Structure 1
Amino acid sequence: VYGKSHRPKEAMKVLNEMELSGFTPSIVTYNSLISAYARDGMLDEAMELKKQMTEKAMKPDVFTYTTLLSGFERAGKVESAMSVFEEMRNAGCKPNICTFNAFIKMYGNRGKFAEMMKIFDEINVCGLSPDIVTWNTLLAVFGQNGMDSEVSGVFKEMKRAGFVPERETFNTLISAYSRCGSFEQAMTVYRRMLEAGVTPDLSTYNTVLAALARGGMWEQSEKVLAEMEDGRCKPNELTYCSLLHAYANGKEIGRMHFLAEEVYSGVIEPRAVLLKTLVLVCSKCDLLPEAERAFSELKERGFSPDITTLNSMVSIYGRRQMVAKAKEVLDYMKEMGFTPSMATYNSLMYMHSRSSDFRKSEEILREIQAKGIKPDIISYNTVIYAYCRNTRMRDASRIFAEMRESGIVPDVITYNTFIGSYAADSMFEEAIGVVRYMIKNGCRPNQNSYNSIVDGYCKLNRKDEAKLFAEELRNLDPNAPKDEDRRLLERIGKKWPIR
């Protein structure tokens, strides 16, 4: 009970009392304690308990190993997780479905989808069958990566395998679709859940709040919280985490600060996950002192940072070109056995892309490829930006070609980086050529695409060409928004009166 309530120290006291009273702890006792410590990210303590087990001639079982493996996976310590698995195999302990589920989650969260599906295929080879957690994990992984077609495909396969969607599946689907940006589809799943007679629980409310938070819908989030507080369901730490994200994404910094103070003062119990979320949202909002305070509070209260928390600190230091501070966090990660994730590398690439050492961005790109990690669109866009910012257009085009060859579809940010760079260098023909190319390849220009071009003309006092571009926009982009040409003329007019 203490373990499940995130109170491992009290659980440990019971063990000590137990032994003083002459009772011999069993493997269940130790597994419960290991689970309690692993759940709160206190993995050194969990490993120490496993060591005590073996010293007492108690053989760790599949639950022991899988709990530790899952704990290291959650913390982002992939090498430690693999070490536990290797020890498990050497001990002749056969993995169970929970072990496979932990690996599916680990590979999926790191974007290693080929390895993830290989593990999925091995389930049947080992004489096991995917369970509801397996399917929900696949749904969650694909949802987190914005792969909505894969989400729908897994859901169909799941039903074909005879699984009837239950509350947890509905919760996972709501989360998956909201992570793909399909908020309407997420809410449709919620309505279908209610129509199917499935009663929402705390997890459901938290999932809905998380979906609202991603859209910055803080007012609706407060309404859901009020509904919960009215007696239907008592909020927990994850509820307040989602509310913090809603405020951050909705740019409601004042409300975010107020909720943070309630956490620090103890009005809301300052659990590890809440303090980690405060680091994340403060970093996201570029609030350096607040992020550093949350990070300090986390460590001072005896909680261990996880990979997401550390990445948030690397990110905020990287954005501010605080190279020494970013290196401190990286050294800490290495010292504590954390495996850098894609977010870590992307933050480092971002930091170098804005510095004089911009070539370092591509070096990091090559480093992650050598490690078998597939760069994402953020990785490529960052390196492209590094070269465009330094007028190295040939190198930028080389990375663009590699990006497409790797199967990643350029987005509006990719194209706008080229447009902005060409326009800034008075290469308007090339900039307009990029607009034509992106339209031809199914990517819609946005306001920033056209702003870069007219601003480039304005900067050079070429008002007639700026006006002509705006007036003839329909010839370039017949599907441009209705008032886009007027908007651009008004933008130009702020510099020169148009008659």
Structure 2
Amino acid sequence: MAFTRSSKTFFFSFNLLQRRTCSSSTPQPQPQLFNAETICRILSANPTSTVDASLANIPVQMSPELAVDVLKKLSNAGVLALSFFRWVEKQQGFKHTTESFHELIESLGKIRQFKMIWTLLSEMNRKKLLTRETFSLVSRRYARARKVKEAVEAFEKMEQYGMKPQVSDFNRLIDVLCKSKSVEKAHEVFDKMRQRKIVPDLKTYTILLEGWGTQGNLLRVDEIRREMESEGFEPDVVTYGIVMNAYCKAKKYDSAVGFYHEMVEKGVRPSPHIYCTLINGLGSDKRLNEALQFFEMSKASGFLPEGPTYNAVVGAYCWSTKMEDAYRVVGEMKELKIGPTSRTYDIILHHLIKAQRNQEAYSIFRRMSSEFGCEPSVSTYEIMVRMFCNEGRLEMAMEVWDQMKSKGILPGMHMFSSLIGSLCNESKVDEACRYFQEMLDMGIRPPAQLFSSFKQALIYEGMENTAIHFALKLDKLRKTPLIA
């Protein structure tokens, strides 16, 4: 991909500095500090180059904190993240931390490079950087890949490394399984935990409550709640928040409001999160007046104004298609200095696009970059790329894509799917090939449905050899583990 204007300016300035320095007798400048965005922008501008080549002539002074920031930004690019990780450890005086290993494991887990992950764990063990959280992270990546059996086995390997599981470790595993929609398995782990005479604490029950709540299984929610109370755990504000959220997700808003009154009667003071939950729930059901009543109650409760609560109010107005009122609340957030953030605007963008007010959505998107704290996130770019793809305005989708890359933000699998799928539908197979190759270069495995559509588009255009070429590449990506 071609350099953006900002990248060209950067390289021109740096080359000019080099020439001036080399032609004078003044000492060489000390290494400059580059932020993570700059480094990622350079790497994404040279997708076919090695990290060594991309960063060879740049005086980067790396710190562990900066390395972690870069790895976070490369979370959707596992192959590039590994290359950067190995490059940075060769820099003079640099040593990786537990956190930098964790960020790389997170990135590699997204592309299912589990053999490489276990190689990293062995390395961490030699360097005495392994922690209990490491095993929780590996379990999470397995669970997200729907490898539930392997997730539990990763947890059990803790003991091989001299770490006897404690209640906090079980809590992390149960949480991982619940968040990966494997709540039945999480409940099995809960039962095994008690068989091993490890006593669940309030957090254990809270995690299970939330797990069953996200599944919409209110019978199990009530069952866990009763069991908690029988074990002597009185519901606290967190418990009530989870129960209310479960009932809101099940669209039983009156019951959720009933739990609010119950907690108040029992002397449990509602938190901002409680009000946020009810405003979100009632707002999504277009019960705007009731949502606003809880907003006023939250303000009267003496809590300082918080961004999430105001975001919920913005969303409530949006659900009722009162966009001018939503914009007014954004203005209040600015006056109170609690936002807005990219999350605030993502909510507005979602509803504008849903209402087919796409031009207005694009105007807001363009304005975001100029507002402090509102720079578009990867989710914002995904919203806009999908919007333009659905409109059939693929040139605009690719323009937004390039803008994202120029900011050092790397796309995830869903963004690739939207753009490649739309390009195939419009018979723009050359462009589709370019983005498909970029996805493979990042180590991202396309969903089966996307590859099937891509292959059919190539065959339809008489490009059978290209289809075979990409099929072989994809097969190699699936079968070949990364090498450190």
> What TM-score does the superposition give when structure 2 sets the normalisation length?
0.52
1:13 equivalent in structure 2: none
1:341 aligned to 271, 294, 300, which one?
Answer: 271
**Structure 2 residue corresponding to 1:445, chosen from 369, 376, 382:** 376
The alpha-carbon deviation at position 379 of structure 1 amounts to 0.9
Q: CA separation in 1, counterparts of 2:176 and 2:187?
A: 13
Q: Provide structure 2 residue ranges, at least 5 long, that are not aligned to the other structure.
A: 1-64, 66-96, 104-127, 144-149, 430-484
Q: 333, 353, 358: which is aligned to 1:428?
A: 358
Q: 1:184 aligned to 2:99?
A: yes
RMSD: 4.1
Match of 1:70 in 2: none
**Further displaced range: 444-453 or 240-249:** 444-453
Do the aligned residues in 2 keep the contact of 1:209 with 1:239 (CA within 8 Å)? Answer: no
- 2:178/2:186 contact within 8 Å kept: yes
1:469 alignment partner in structure 2: 396
Identity %: 21
> Contact 2:389–2:418 at 8 Å: present in 1 too?
no
User: Residues 273 and 423 from structure 1, CA distance in 2 versus in 1: closer, same or farther, beyond 3 angstroms?
Assistant: closer
Q: Deviations over 1:337-360 (max 9, x none)?
A: 111112211111111111131233
Give, in angstroms, the shift of residue 411 of structure 1: 2.7
Q: How many residues of Structure 1 are paired with residues of Structure 2 in the alignment?
A: 301
Task: Report the AA paired with residue 365 of structure 2.
Answer: V
Q: Which moved more, 1:433-442 or 1:443-452?
A: 443-452
Residues 338 and 386 (structure 1), Cα distance of their counterparts in 2 relative to 1, 3 Å cut: same
Q: Return the offset for 1:235.
A: 3.4
> Highest relative contact order (Cα 8 Å, sep 6+), 1 or 2?
2
In structure 2, relative to structure 1, the CA distance for the partners of 1:186 and 1:367 (3 Å cut) is farther
Give the Å deviation of 1:307. Answer: 1.8
Contact 1:222 1:243 (C-alpha < 8 Å) held by counterparts: no
Alignment correspondent of 1:161: none
Question: Contact 2:139/2:151 (CA < 8 Å) preserved in 1?
Answer: no
Give the alignment of 1:279-318 within 5 angstroms: 279-284=209-214, 286-318=216-248
Shift of 1:391: 1.8
Equivalent AA in structure 1 for residue 376 of structure 2: P
Task: Please give the alpha-carbon distance, in whole angstroms, between the structure 2 residues aligned to 1:405 and 1:211.
Answer: 41
2:438 matched residue in structure 1: none
* Matched position secondary structure for 1:440: coil
Q: How many angstroms does 1:414 deviate by?
A: 1.2
- Aligned counterparts, 1:362-377, within 5 A: 362-377=292-307
Structure-2 change in CA distance of 1:487 and 1:441 (3 Å): farther
2:384–2:397: 8 Å Cα contact kept in structure 1? no
The Cα of 1:233 is off from its aligned counterpart by 5.5
* Equivalent residue, structure 2, for 1:17: none
Contact 1:216 1:247 in 2 (8 A): no
How far apart are 1:490 and its partner, in Å?
2.1
Is residue 324 from structure 1 mapped to residue 254 from structure 2 by the alignment?
yes
For 2:173 and 2:394, locate their aligned partners in 1 and report how far apart those are by CA, in whole Å: 46
Query: Higher mean Cα deviation, 339-348 or 323-332?
Result: 323-332
The more displaced of 441-450 and 375-384 is 441-450
1:394 is the counterpart of 2:324: yes
1:344 counterpart letter in structure 2: I
Q: Report the secondary structure of 2:234's partner residue.
A: coil
State whether residues 212 and 220 of structure 2, in contact with CA within 8 Å, keep that contact through their aligned partners in structure 1.
yes
Deviations 1:376-404 (A, max 9, x none): 22211111111122221110001111112
- Aligned: 1:255 with 2:178: no
One-letter amino acid of the structure 1 residue matched with residue 279 of structure 2: M
Does the residue aligned with 1:408 lie in a helix, a strand or coil? coil
After superposition, give the CA deviation of every residue in 1:151-173 in whole Å (9 maximum; x if it has no partner).
xxxxxxxxxxxxxxxxxxxxxxx
Which residue of structure 2 aligns with residue 479 of structure 1?
407
In structure 2, what is the Cα distance between the partners aligned to 1:395 and 1:186? 46
- The separation in 2 between residues aligned to 1:273 and 1:471, in whole angstroms, is 45
CA 457–216 in structure 1, closer or farther in 2 if over 3 Å, else same: closer
Deviation by residue 1:169-228 (Cα, 9 ceiling, x = unmatched): xxxxxxxxxxxxx9827979xxxxxxxxxx99xxx966x47984997687789656643x
Tell me, in whole angstroms, the C-alpha distance in 1 between the residues paired with 2:331 and 2:213.
32
- Displacement, 1:281? 3.6
Asked if the contact 1:279/1:313 (under 8 Å) is kept, the reply is: yes
- Distance (whole Å) between structure 2 residues aligned to residue 384 and residue 265 of structure 1: 47
* Cα distance in 1 for residues equivalent to 2:276 and 2:102: 32
Alignment of 1:124-273 (within 5 A): 184=99, 208=133, 212=137, 223=154, 226-227=157-158, 229=159, 232=162, 234-262=164-192, 268-273=198-203
Preserved contact between residue 424 and residue 456 of structure 1 (Cα < 8 Å): no
Instruction: Report if the CA contact (8 A) 1:275-1:294 is conserved.
Output: yes
Partner of 1:65: none
Letter in 1 for 2:253: V
Q: Say if 1:213 and 1:242, in contact at 8 Å, map to a contact too.
A: no
CA distance in 1, matches of 2:224, 2:99: 34
Which residue of structure 2 lines up, in the alignment, with residue 419 of structure 1?
349
> Partner letter of residue 184 of structure 1?
E
Q: Choose the corresponding residue for 1:380, options 290, 310, 317.
A: 310
CA spacing shift, 1:379–1:210, aligned 2, 3 Å: farther
Q: Is the 8 A contact 2:305 2:338 kept in 1?
A: no
